[in-house]
Amino acid sequence: MLDAYDDLTQARDLRELTYRGLGDTVVDVGCGGARAVGELAGRGAHAIGVDTSADMIEVAARRWPAGEFHVGDATALPLADGSVTGYRADKVLHTLADPAAAVAEARRVLARDGRAVLVGQDWDALVIDSDDPARTRALVHARADRVPNPRVARRYRNLLLDNGFTDVTAEVRTIVWTDATCLPTLADIAGEADAWLEEQTARARANRLFVAVPMFVAAGTRGD
């Protein structure tokens, strides 16, 4: 699912937006398969990937040997104070019980005037065209309830402000799916709702699939 998402032109454009101003030493927290680490390293940055999953880190290191990788937690990064110029967390904070602790950790590892970028979806804001909107609404909310902080993306700006970041910006970019590459994501949302997923599969075959995922992007500078 991550690879299918990362390959979307809109997702590539969104990553490019998040790379701006990160400087020459960047940590990507929750790096997963580390597409961003590889791309940042290709631009000449010392790119560091951190993920809680040892399996993901193994895959990342194999795919992107130019990166530096560590198994670690977003709230206790294996980095010294002020050691990076850029911090990036993409689709991470919704998985955490305490997102504010992760943003405080971002401030700790950033050098003065370093830049933090938070990216992610609001799980209650997914838009899916369906013949059964009530069922769709229930499935989206049920999927949201499976993560610790499904609505944290709407708090990104305030989390940065609350942790002393300055020049904070916030915007929304929308990822749109209209083909079968979205079906694994929809299957994850569907759970046991076979009839609903069958409808979405039929829509994909008929070129009538429509899924929109608003992606929230907030950034700020670490001042003293």
* Domain count for the chain: 1
Indicate whether 223 pLDDT > 90: no
The answer to whether residue 180 sits within a structural domain is no
Indicate whether 129 pLDDT > 80: yes
Q: Distances in Å between the alpha carbon of 109 and those of 64, 79, 116, 149? A: 23, 6, 10, 23
Q: Which residues pair with 49 in a beta bridge?
A: 28, 69
The answer to whether residue 55 sits within a structural domain is yes
* pLDDT band at residue 224 under the 50/70/90 scheme: confident
Residue type for position 157: R
Q: Distances in Å between the alpha carbon of 200 and those of 39, 121, 194, 208, 221? A: 33, 21, 10, 9, 42
The answer to whether residue 162 sits within a structural domain is yes
| pTM of the model as a whole | 0.94
Q: Is the four-CA dihedral 74, 79, 80, 85 of positive or negative sign?
A: negative
CATH number at 72 reads: 3.40.50.150
The answer to whether residue 194 sits within a structural domain is no
- Average the pLDDT over 6-20 and give the result: 91
The answer to whether residue 18 sits within a structural domain is yes
pLDDT tens digits for range 138-171: 999 999 999 999 999 999 999 999 999 999 999 9
* pLDDT value of residue 60: 95
The answer to whether residue 135 sits within a structural domain is no
Mean pLDDT rounded to a whole number for the chain? 96
Return the structure tokens found at 221: 């500078």
The C-alpha atoms of residue 164 and residue 213 are separated, in whole angstroms, by: 29
* pLDDT band at residue 187 under the 50/70/90 scheme: very high
The answer to whether residue 166 sits within a structural domain is yes
pLDDT tens digits for range 46-83: 999 999 999 999 999 999 999 999 999 999 999 999 99
The answer to whether residue 70 sits within a structural domain is yes
* pLDDT value of residue 77: 98
Range of the domain at 50: 2-121+148-174+214-222
* pLDDT value of residue 7: 82
